[in-house]
């Protein structure tokens, strides 16, 4: 599904729209991690965002972009993860209904969180086709507006607000690294970063077991059929079509990291920053460690995307 | 060993002295944790302090309180934990020698951190008597100044700076809760809190298996012989004499919590705040949860003392 990419102005509008609801997340630093890379690292802590992930930004922008008439019909999405929860929370800020389609077998704690945020859960078989069919059915039945997790202009604009904040919090960044899953964050951030600071180098970190963005860029055509094999549950989605266009247009350099590298990086982040970050977030630090010669001496912004982990099943 | 308690002015002097070196740690909040207690909770994040614990404040104040002539002789302490590391880091900020006496059998990772911070390690048998003898021997041999982990006026003053910051960061607190180990933090914070805001209620949280402060207060005489039995490794020390005086003078109400309650509270903190806090720190939230009726509707400051945990041996 191809959707228009947001402009820098639309990202700025998104920032104004979500400001009353979203958390201005802090940027953290660590001498030990700087020394490990030989660079100055600025960690943008979206694990401290509402709902524990950057996803609230995009969902909130989508919800508050609706007209009164649209909003009255509610919103719908399919996601058993951070986006479902984010949309539920965002809908609650406007007092509108949120329908979240969740596959059978999804983690119960996540579903409880989504329900607790006030959404109505709808179960379906655990396939992409079943999810999409169920969401379409709900759109027809309720008139609710679809808010896709990443193939959505409003969502990409919302995620791009991470960079507007980061640039206000630290001057003169030479490079920016975000994880790549469906590409909502990486596309929004690349657009915002180059819009403000054309010389910045933009990187994406992708699990080697879900490196469809890297492969799509290399091949020159979008991979649209693969089976992810990674512990990074937030990064298993196929890159969206428009999202891939944004990465190509902004010459985003993708660094693939193994799960072992990511898990080791996650532990280093917990240890040095004293922050709970989820495994998907750690890909950015794993990527910088892996290719440290490209970052040596630079000022590097890294987006720590979320902190929703199962403390009873840590990956090490 | 009885030492003078610091005054509010001495705590203010300490704040000025450590300002160039210490981190102004953030205060964090969580709707979910507020709801669990029915109060407004303000978490002062000393896990984000340099070295990962509040201990840097006291050590830094002690180091920078020395005359040039004293400083040239270096500092010495006995501690295999956060205080040893903090003193090593503080000494490094002034470019002076730090001797740290560590008992045989101490955790290797902690010793490596102390050495990496630039201190000279001295091993001894794992008894209090052996530690004190070794430290006294080093004082004689090198002229180094002893900086006790908590029975030290300068250290108590440094720890009290937590409250000066907290009060600047949030107005109108009704209550303050710190953990109680040797009593450096609890004494310094009680003095600062009542000095500025006489009506504030000050609480201490103590592991039931190391509740010597509670027992000492009840009995009216300091317990000076007991065997701690708690997972809270930072709170096993016997309360200092002067530290106990401060708790009595400031009517600090001690709430004892079981290790089970503390571990459950630790997990809730990690989950809701996305912060890595050590088990000793979680006693404060466990205490507030346990006696929530005393805190209902109040604005409560809680000091999260540290974040140095062994990620391979979490207590749950």
Same domain, B97 and B172: no
* Helix or strand holding residue B57 (H, E): helix B55-65
Q: Name the CA radius of gyration of chain B, rounded.
A: 18
Can you tell me the distance from the alpha carbon of A54 to that of A7, in angstroms, rounded to the nearest whole number? Answer: 19
The β-bridge relationship of strands A40-45 and A27-28 is antiparallel
pLDDT, position A127: 85
Q: Is B316 on the interface with A (CB under 8 A)?
A: yes
Same domain, B170 and B260: yes
Same domain, B249 and B216: yes
Same domain, A163 and A49: yes
Q: Which long-range contacts (CB under 8 A, 24 or more apart) does A63-70 make?
A: A63/A87, A63/A90, A63/A91, A63/A93, A63/A94, A63/A96, A63/A147, A64/A17, A64/A18, A64/A21, A64/A90, A64/A93, A64/A94, A65/A17, A65/A154, A66/A94, A66/A145, A70/A145
Q: Of A267, A271, A276, which has the smallest distance from its Cβ to B275's Cβ? A: A276
Residue B226's pLDDT band (boundaries 50, 70, 90)?
Answer: confident
Does B292 reside within a domain?
Answer: yes
Does A2 reside within a domain?
Answer: no
Query: Could you report the per-residue pLDDT of A45-87, keeping only the tens digit for each?
Result: 999 999 999 999 999 999 999 999 999 999 999 987 899 999 9
Same domain, B252 and B161: yes
Does B314 reside within a domain?
Answer: no
Q: Of A52, A274, A312, which has the smallest distance from its Cβ to B47's Cβ? A: A274
> What average pLDDT score do residues B75-104 get?
94
By three-state DSSP, how is residue B158 classified?
helix
Q: pLDDT per position in chain A (316 positions), as tens?
A: 789 999 999 999 999 999 999 999 999 999 999 999 999 999 999 999 999 999 999 999 999 999 999 999 999 999 878 999 999 999 999 999 999 999 888 878 788 889 999 999 999 998 888 999 999 999 999 999 999 999 999 999 999 999 999 999 999 999 999 999 999 999 999 999 999 999 999 999 999 999 999 999 999 999 988 899 999 999 999 999 999 999 999 999 999 999 999 999 999 999 999 999 999 999 999 999 999 999 999 999 999 999 999 999 999 9
Alpha-helical runs (H) found in B108-183: 108-116, 128-142, 153-169
* Cβ contact B307–A26 (<8 Å): no
The β-bridge relationship of strands B253-257 and A27-28 is unpaired
Residue B224 pLDDT > 90: no
Does B243 reside within a domain?
Answer: yes
Going by C-alpha positions, the residue among A248, A54, A52, A66 that lies closest to residue A160 is: A54
Distances (CA, A) of A134 to A148, A260, B171, B292: 13, 36, 49, 44
Residue B162's pLDDT band (boundaries 50, 70, 90)?
Answer: very high
- Single residue among B146, B163, B190 that ends a domain in this structure: B146
* Cβ contact B307–A52 (<8 Å): no
Overall domain count for chain B: 2
Q: Which residues pair with B306 in a beta bridge?
A: B53
Can you tell me the distance from the alpha carbon of B195 to that of B186, in angstroms, rounded to the nearest whole number? Answer: 14
Same domain, A74 and A85: yes
Same domain, B42 and B82: no
Instruction: State which residue of chain B sits closest to A307, comparing Cα positions.
Output: B274
Query: How is residue B28 annotated by DSSP?
Result: E
The β-bridge relationship of strands A201-207 and A253-257 is parallel
Same domain, B283 and B168: yes
Same domain, A46 and A70: no
Can you tell me the distance from the alpha carbon of A254 to that of A224, in angstroms, rounded to the nearest whole number? Answer: 18
Same domain, A30 and A61: no
Residue A140 structural domain: 56-146
Distances (CA, A) of B46 to A135, A191, B275: 45, 37, 11
* Cβ contact A276–B267 (<8 Å): no
Same domain, B80 and B182: no
Can you tell me the distance from the alpha carbon of B129 to that of B126, in angstroms, rounded to the nearest whole number? Answer: 9
- Single residue among A129, A146, A163 that ends a domain in this structure: A146
Taking CB atoms and an 8 Å cutoff, what residues of chain B touch A314? 311, 314
Can you tell me the distance from the alpha carbon of A197 to that of A178, in angstroms, rounded to the nearest whole number? Answer: 16
* Cβ contact B312–A316 (<8 Å): yes
Residue B113's pLDDT band (boundaries 50, 70, 90)?
Answer: confident
Does B254 reside within a domain?
Answer: yes
* Partner A, chain B 260-299, Cβ-Cβ below 8 Å: 267, 270-271, 274-277
Residue B225's pLDDT band (boundaries 50, 70, 90)?
Answer: confident
Taking CB atoms and an 8 Å cutoff, what residues of chain A touch B271? 276, 311
Instruction: State which residue of chain A sits closest to B312, comparing Cα positions.
Output: A316
Taking a C-beta distance cutoff of 8 angstroms, is the pair B49, B23 a contact?
Answer: yes
Can you tell me the distance from the alpha carbon of B131 to that of B154, in angstroms, rounded to the nearest whole number? Answer: 21
For the residues of chain A, what is the DSSP string, one character each? ---PPPPHHHHHHHHHHHTTTS----EE--HHHHHHHTSEEEEEEGGGSGGGBTHHHHHHHHHHHS-HHHHHH-EEEE-SSHHHHHHHHHHHHHT--EEEEEETT--HHHHHHHHHTTPEEEEE-SSHHHHHHHHHHHHHHH-PEE--SSS-HHHHHHHHHHHHHHHHHSS--SEEEEE-SSSHHHHHHHHHHHHH-TT-EEEEEEEGGG-HHHHHHHHTS---------S-GGG-SPPPHHHHHHHHHTTPEEEEE-HHHHHHHHHHHHHHH-B---GGGGHHHHHHHHTHHHHTT-EEEEEE-B----TTS---
Does A190 reside within a domain?
Answer: yes
Backbone angles phi, psi at B31, to 5 degrees: -60, -40
Does B309 reside within a domain?
Answer: no
Distances (CA, A) of A192 to A6, A14, A279, B163: 9, 12, 25, 40
Instruction: State which residue of chain A sits closest to B30, comparing Cα positions.
Output: A50
Same domain, A166 and A19: yes
- Single residue among A146, A170, A204 that ends a domain in this structure: A146
What count of other Cβ atoms lies within 10 Å of the Cβ of residue B291? 15
Residue bearing the bigger pLDDT, B124 or B128:
B124
Q: Which residues pair with A206 in a beta bridge?
A: A256
Can you tell me the distance from the alpha carbon of B150 to that of B186, in angstroms, rounded to the nearest whole number? Answer: 10
The shortest C-alpha distance from A316 to chain B (Å) reads 8
pLDDT, position A224: 87
Taking CB atoms and an 8 Å cutoff, what residues of chain B touch A270? 276, 311
> What average pLDDT score do residues B284-288 get?
98
What ipTM was predicted for this assembly? 0.93
CATH of the domain at B205: 3.40.50.1100
Can you tell me the distance from the alpha carbon of B278 to that of A23, in angstroms, rounded to the nearest whole number? Answer: 25
Does B315 reside within a domain?
Answer: no
> Edge to edge, what strands does the sheet with A75-78 contain?
A120-124, A98-103, A75-78, A145-146
* Cβ contact B275–A271 (<8 Å): no
């Amino acid at each position: 599904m191809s959707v228009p990419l947001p402009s820098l102005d639309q990202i700025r509008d998104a920032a104004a729209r979500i400001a009353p609801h979203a958390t201005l997340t802090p940027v953290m630093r660590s001498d030990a991690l700087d020394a490990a890379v030989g660079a100055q690292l600025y960690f943008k802590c979206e694990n401290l965002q509402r709902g524990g992930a950057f996803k609230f930004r995009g969902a909130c922008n989508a919800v508050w972009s609706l007209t009164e008439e649209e909003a009255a019909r509610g919103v719908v999405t399919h996601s058993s993860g951070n986006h479902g929860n984010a949309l539920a929370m965002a809908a609650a800020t406007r007092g509108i209904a949120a329908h979240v389609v969740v596959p059978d077998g999804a983690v119960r704690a996540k579903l409880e969180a989504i329900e607790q945020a006030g959404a109505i859960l709808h179960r379906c078989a655990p396939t992409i086709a079943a999810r999409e069919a169920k969401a379409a059915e709900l759109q027809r039945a309720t008139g609710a507006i679809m808010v896709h997790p990443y193939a959505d202009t409003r969502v990409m604009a919302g995620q791009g607000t991470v960079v507007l904040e980061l640039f206000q919090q630290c001057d003169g960044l030479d490079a920016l690294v975000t994880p790549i899953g469906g590409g909502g964050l990486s596309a929004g951030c690349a657009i915002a970063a180059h819009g403000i600071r054309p010389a910045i180098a933009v990187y994406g970190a992708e699990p080697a077991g879900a490196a469809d963005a890297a492969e799509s860029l290399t091949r020159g055509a979008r991979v649209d059929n693969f089976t992810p094999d990674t512990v990074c549950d937030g990064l298993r989605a196929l890159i969206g079509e428009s999202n891939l266009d944004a990465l190509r247009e902004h010459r985003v350099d993708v660094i693939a990291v193994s799960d072992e590298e990511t898990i080791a990086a996650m532990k280093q982040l917990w240890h040095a920053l004293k922050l709970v970050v989820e495994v998907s977030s750690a890909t950015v630090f794993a990527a910088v460690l892996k290719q440290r010669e490209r970052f040596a001496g630079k000022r590097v912004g890294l987006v720590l995307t979320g902190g929703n982990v199962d403390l009873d099943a840590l990956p090490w």
